[in-house]
Amino acid sequence: MAGQAFRKFLPLFDRVLVERSAADTVTKGGIMPTVVAVGSDSKGKGGEIEPVSVKVGDKVLLREYGGTKVVLDDKDYLLFRDGDILGKYVD
């Protein structure tokens, strides 16, 4: 889908990059974009490694406003912390 753009950008730690498009599902709780890149993991308060809770391709629920806007190859994306994700769609 975005291919080359993600060779140029890799989220760090517990960050998750989502593709925001006009076709995103909008619910009362927020938006449901698709995850396109994830960081490796983060350290918990006790120093333990905590993996990111989503993977590339997941549809996630986020608040309608928030995140950091990232533009790659003229496309808009949003960068969130893993903890800001409200949920994910499961088939």
User: Is 88 a residue whose pLDDT tops 80?
Assistant: yes
Of the pLDDT bands very low, low, confident and very high (cuts 50, 70, 90), residue 84 is very high
Structure tokens at 5: 């753009």
Burial of 80 (0-12, 13-18, 19+ CB in 10 A): buried
Query: How far is it, in rounded angstroms, from Cα 39 to Cα 41?
Result: 6
User: Is 6 a residue whose pLDDT tops 80?
Assistant: no
Superfamily of domain 5-88: GroES chaperonin (2.30.33.40)
pLDDT tens-digit readout, 49-71: 888 899 999 999 988 788 999 98
User: Is 81 a residue whose pLDDT tops 90?
Assistant: yes
Share of the chain above pLDDT 90, in %: 34
Query: Quick one: pLDDT at residue 47?
Result: 77
Nearest to 64 by CA among 16, 28, 17, 88: 28
Nearest to 83 by CA among 56, 64, 69, 63: 63
The residues spanned by each domain of the chain are: 5-88
Half-sphere exposure of 24 (CA within 13 A, CB side): 24
